[in-house]
Structure 1
Amino acid sequence: IDKISKDEQTIFRQYGWSEAGTRAESGQVFVRGRRFTVTALLTLEGISAGTVVEGSMNCNMFLDFLENGVVSLSYNP
């Protein structure tokens, strides 16, 4: 099971370089956007279960994905 989140802020560089003794600075356009969280179960046959939620996924959402998406696959091979 793997999870990834994406929003407009994750495309910016976290590190940079500058001359010794000076601070590295970078100007970026800040745009607020929507965040999506994608969670998927990857098997040898491919993606078996997946979900996309808008915003961050909390514990209850993840447990719901496990119970209804992943565990239900073991009963229906």
Structure 2
Amino acid sequence: MAPGGPELLLIVGIAVLLFGAQKIPALARSIGESAGQFKKGQAQVEQELEEIKPDASGAGSAGAGTDAETDLES
């Protein structure tokens, strides 16, 4: 559930009180960079998993495919 207008203003107000108006742009920038690095790392892991999947499932599906073909022929 995302915060609405009044809740968002309250959060921004608390952030200004805690960090000061000068540090908020730097804080937002560092959060954005961290999120970008996280997404990049997540994409690399997903790509590596996709590269591994065909190798692991390829050996088992070849046998299952021939069984299914023989069942259809008979």
Structure holding more strand per residue: 1
Structure possessing the higher radius of gyration over alpha carbons: 2
Which structure has more RCO (C-alpha within 8 Å, separation ≥ 6)? 1
- Is the structural similarity TM-score above 0.5? no
* TM-score between the two structures when normalised by the length of structure 1: 0.28
Structure holding more helix per residue: 2
* TM-score between the two structures when normalised by the length of structure 2: 0.29
